[in-house]
Amino acid sequence: MSQTPTAGQLRNRLVDAILGERAVPSDVERAMRTVPRDAFLPGIELENAYTDQAVTIKDNPGKPLPLSCASVPSVVAMMLGQLGTRPGDKVLEVGAGTGYNAALLAELVGGDNVTTVDIDSDVALHARTTLNAAGHESVTVIERNGLLGVHENAPYDRIIATVGVWDIPATWWEQLVDGGRLVLPLRWRGQTRSVALTRRGGELVSDGMELCGFVPIIGQNGERTASLNAADTIRLHYDQDQDIDTAALADTLLAKRPAGSFLSTQRIGGKESFDGVWLRATAGDDRVCRLEVTPEAEEQALIHRPAAPGRSPVLVEGGSLAYLTVTREGVDPDRPFRLGAAAYGPRGEELAHDLIAHIDAWGAARLAVPHMTVTSSATGTAPGHVINKPESRITLAY
């Protein structure tokens, strides 16, 4: 008769699985084998606490995403690896969540050096309670708008955000030492990447970015959402600096006259990610947005199925659009799927060919990521494609 695995066995099994998928620094591995995730998720079944999944700790009624959750453990490991802490570093975490990440940071740098902040009183209390119960009383928990940082404990050697950030606030710049690192799930053109940035005087310079998804931080409203049909089953997500004619787009889709479907030369395997197409397009094209098609719209076949219905890149101009598609072909058994574009509107075919050019550029170097330089909105920019936000300027270059 098999015995029920202990929390420690489940924890080690989870860490082993993460190590099988990605490289994890030895100090991060040690912390994840030490800190009991289940202690920060009271009321959750033990096995569920040690699955590589997010766990909601506070719902957000009327909104599609929860207010707060425990992040996916493999993403936690990835971001802590990007952060590159050293013993004794002073660390600010924006988004306290369950307190689990702060406990990991305490193992890495010492609890006296960790400050975690959350705008929600219930979440901050939960983190304080679980950290105390787990023996991490020395971690500082602050209830405050995380966009303000925590100036009284600054400056910090490391700042990590565990919520989706659309713009980098000037307060974080002011509280990060020169040479310090900032890791955050940064949102632009409808996608989110965990970007590792090092401060070099008046610039933040990237040395890596990874695909991720996080609950957006409260207090930043630079992203817009528009329904493109009366049933609200086709939606466009875009940034405030983009000139989008949502009424013209809605009329185009209502007419149900596609400009056509077009195929690129790029094929992918069944488990191969194609999110790099989106990233590649944002490094030179300001027409990139996110298209969301709900299951109801799919069932009614209102438009040609996007590559990923919930979140596909789309090029938009006037009343025309073209979005990424995936078509199954039997030509190559290793890569049976072919990337392409579906187009609508008078300039749809032109947009489709532009999107295919982005696909082909990605196909020539599928693992390449752009170099990102961030400056404050009051200063100049580095060479490359610039995306302006209220408090920062983002420059991307391959």
Which residues form the catalytic set? 71
Q: Could you give the CA distance from residue 115 to residue 254 in angstroms, rounded to a whole number?
A: 51
Give residues with Cβ within 8 angstroms of 368, minimum separation 6: 276, 280, 398
Instruction: Copy the structure tokens of residue 137.
Output: 């009383």
Contact 218, 196 (CB under 8 A): no
Give the ranges where the chain is alpha helix by DSSP (H).
Answer: 7-21, 26-34, 46-49, 73-83, 100-109, 121-133, 170-175, 246-255, 276-282, 295-299, 348-363
Contact 168, 94 (CB under 8 A): no
Q: Could you give the CA distance from residue 312 to residue 314 in angstroms, rounded to a whole number?
A: 6
Q: Could you give the CA distance from residue 273 to residue 283 in angstroms, rounded to a whole number?
A: 18
Q: Could you give the CA distance from residue 196 to residue 83 in angstroms, rounded to a whole number?
A: 7
Transcribe 170-232 into DSSP letters.
HHHHHHEEEEEEEEEEEEETTEEEEEEEEEETTEEEEEEEEE---PBPTT---EEEEESSTTS
Burial of residue 135 (CB within 10 Å: 0-12, 13-18, 19+) is exposed
